[in-house]
Amino acid sequence: MARFPHYRRNVAELGRLLARAAMDESFRKALIDSPEETLASVGLPKETTSLMTFKVVDQRVQKNAVVLPYKLNDSKLENNDPAYAQELAKPFALN
């Protein structure tokens, strides 16, 4: 399943997206080539997808793939982008 922040309301759509990618070769290629655009098609907002750099791993191609949680945007971290840091912190806010 998704290893990045997402809205609970998107879980069913994300599941359908992964199932479709497993069965439809052209859709899987679209997901691999442009994950942000494909995720946007199921309702993930750009505010979420722009926080990360996505890499889709196909276990049929990479048999020993290890999936880690989402990768942070290195460029924004290196530039000490305060707005980026603030967005990253939102899921962890205690309110």
Ranking 1-5, 29-33, 86-90 by mean pLDDT, the lowest is 1-5
- Give the residue with greater pLDDT, 70 vs 57: 57
Q: Can you tell me the distance from the alpha carbon of 34 to that of 14, in angstroms, rounded to the nearest whole number?
A: 15
Are the C-beta atoms of 34 and 12 separated by less than 8 Å?
Answer: no
Q: Is the pLDDT of residue 88 over 70?
A: yes
Which residue's entry shows tokens 């899921």? Answer: 91
Domain boundaries, the chain: 8-92
Decide if pLDDT at 69 tops 70.
no
Question: Tell me: the pLDDT tens digits for 7-24?
Answer: 677 778 888 888 898 899
pLDDT at 1: 46
Q: What does pTM read for this prediction?
A: 0.56
Contact 3, 51 (CB under 8 A): no
